[in-house]
Amino acid sequence: MSATSITIHFTLNGERVSAEIEPHHTILEVLRQQFALYGARESCGQGLCGCCTVIVNGESVSGCLYLAAMADGGEVSTVEHLDADGELDVVQQAFIECGAFQCGFCTSGFILMSRQLLDRNPDPTESEIRHFLSGNLCRCAAYPEIIEAVKLAARMRKSAGAVPA
Ligand code: FES
Ligand code: FES
């Protein structure tokens, strides 16, 4: 602990946690270095690619830019929370079924953003999907499969009764 370190308290994937951080630490650094949550990844480091996406207080943020201190008292969710009950989320199932990844580096960001989209708009058009995911980049160019996966996840949620018909 240094003279400048501070303690933050927040809810992480449903559990109350604390962390000793420096004011310049990002939430991505804290998640990976202190909580061994490796789903969110650093790629561009500039808020441009979405590989580092995490959810803070219900909104997606770029974990590479979001200061951990700003999460103090808040709620943070990562992709690891989606299957916390031992079952994959339908979005995860759909990504697997559609083969919506190659190297997988971008995948957690796409999955979290797709969940956000479907929670807000259960039956998005293709252009709405493309627009909502436009901040996420895939260097392997798995875009066609990603779009199909989001459509499939929407159908799966509908048939499971997760959303009104
Ligand atoms: S690593 Fe954060 S947006 Fe690219
Ligand atoms: S699957 Fe490789 S970057 Fe998207």
Structural contact between residues 52 and 41, judged by C-beta atoms closer than 8 angstroms: yes
- Mean pLDDT throughout 16-36? 98
Structural contact between residues 97 and 128, judged by C-beta atoms closer than 8 angstroms: no
Strands 53-56 and 59-62, bridge-based pairing: antiparallel
Q: Where are the domains of the chain?
A: 6-79, 90-159
Least trusted range by pLDDT, from 18-22, 85-89, 121-125? 85-89
Query: How do residues 136-161 score in pLDDT, each as one tens digit?
Result: 999 999 999 999 999 999 999 999 88
Ligand 1 probe mutation, 27, 29, 61, 64, most atoms within 8 A of CB = 64
Using 50, 70 and 90 to split pLDDT, how confident is the model at 2? confident
Could you tell me if the CB of 60 is within 6 A of ligand 1?
A: no
Distance, in Å, from the CA atom of 150 to the CA atom of 146, rounded to the nearest integer, reads: 6
The topology (CATH level 3) of 90-159 is: DNA polymerase; domain 1 (1.10.150)
- Mean pLDDT throughout 71-94? 96
Query: How do residues 106-133 score in pLDDT, each as one tens digit?
Result: 999 999 999 999 999 999 999 999 999 9
Output the average pLDDT for the chain.
96
Kindly identify the ligand whose nearest atom is closest to the C-alpha of 137: 2
Ligand 1 probe mutation, 49, 56, 105, 133, most atoms within 8 A of CB = 49
What spacing in Å lies between the alpha carbon of 162 and ligand 2's midpoint? 29
What spacing in Å lies between the alpha carbon of 137 and ligand 2's midpoint? 8
Could you tell me if the CB of 99 is within 6 A of ligand 2?
A: no
Distance, in Å, from the CA atom of 41 to the CA atom of 15, rounded to the nearest integer, reads: 22
Query: Which distant-in-sequence residues (6+ apart) come within 8 Å of 127 by Cβ?
Result: none
- Mean pLDDT throughout 1-29? 96
**Positive or negative, the Cα torsion across 80, 43, 57, 122?**
negative
What spacing in Å lies between the alpha carbon of 111 and ligand 2's midpoint? 12
Q: C-alpha dihedral over 155, 156, 162, 165, to 10 degrees? A: 30
Quick one: CATH architecture of 6-79?
Roll (3.10)
Query: Which distant-in-sequence residues (6+ apart) come within 8 Å of 39 by Cβ?
Result: 78, 79, 80, 108
